[in-house]
Structure 1
């Protein structure tokens, strides 16, 4: 799917999600074929011509100013993450050539930091959610059934996206799998808008759409989400149920690499479970 069609799809989904009543538009209900805003209604509220908005939605205009995008975002009630995604799509070339990027390499400073965090689970993730590195406790918490050295070789690096949707053991690990998986889909869509030329990212999305009905359905919904903090409740095969919170630390010189750090949830039993897990995996 090209940038122009992705932009149009996103705008149509957002337009369908806003009703005239929410914007205090008084319009007759009879003969109305759409539940959301019509193009002319959105254009009028945003202060742009219907013809220009139509060209934008059809992908025939790629030079929208920040003022125009801000006006559209205001009418559609987009949050900050959705506004960022709109800008990413609007500024991509209409016929971006997808290429195979070089294999991602973890920054040595990040690897050193990861190794020093031996008391908490932590992972270094690339732009496509491939594991570039992890510490022993991060490996034990989220993917203990895989070889510890798997991230060392780009050919065998675990994909957290594939594990979440296609690996039964990872799915069973998540007590609230649907919520976390929906969040993951929203984040992948945000990344796809930012890196539309990444052939491997497009291949990953295509594979998940073909193999996972849930992924395909949620991807079609068009939601985008940032994923920088949150909590996960796990049914861990070694230590039982535990709640963990996570925070993502971005690398200033490599913004598409994320250090994901986990800490125990508020229940003291979670800290005890992580301690037990750490003891069981000591080399």
Structure 2
């Protein structure tokens, strides 16, 4: 990653790598589990954990290490009152109340979408979603909006190889079919995922664009497939969703 970059701090990168491992492994990890997950030597992990413990980000009970609430300080700048998350929250809450469905905002981080704001109505997925949740971009409505905004060569490495993982019987089967879907998203200006990620879940998403027309995030509404048809998503949900995204885009522009 650092190559010959003289300004790259390998020790800092290793410490962050260890800290990020808790997100995937969960709290309560041993030196051995963190070493195995990160690929870092045990001695390096020990030094990283000692530093993180001294700084108050990690605690230790017996031989198990746990993330402490101090890590939330790292998110303060992003979650400030002029951040994308803060600007979006009242808009999402208004949209939720208008359409009576859960609404979310996500950005693209690698091959995943990262939830940065959410207004929930009810839980319609088997997994709970919250700020900080991640899902594969290629099979989600927000992810497809964000992928569609990328040039084909940019998104190539963000999509799994063929055949695509079969999450449900509705999942797009291969990259060629997915590319056709992404072209449709570009043409139509929105993405609908109909029970491809999870049976019973339908969602519709639109891009949030800045003043230059660049897509900076995606906004979606998720619904129970038994309660809303695809036509209802397009006719009843899409117009207020588009208005909300446009309003957020204006807020982003004025905040800069």
TM over 0.5: no
Per the normalisation by structure 1, the TM-score is 0.32
| Bigger Rg, structure 1 or 2 | 1
Taking structure 2 as the reference length, what is the TM-score of the superposition?
0.34
Q: Specify which structure has the higher proportion of helix.
A: 1
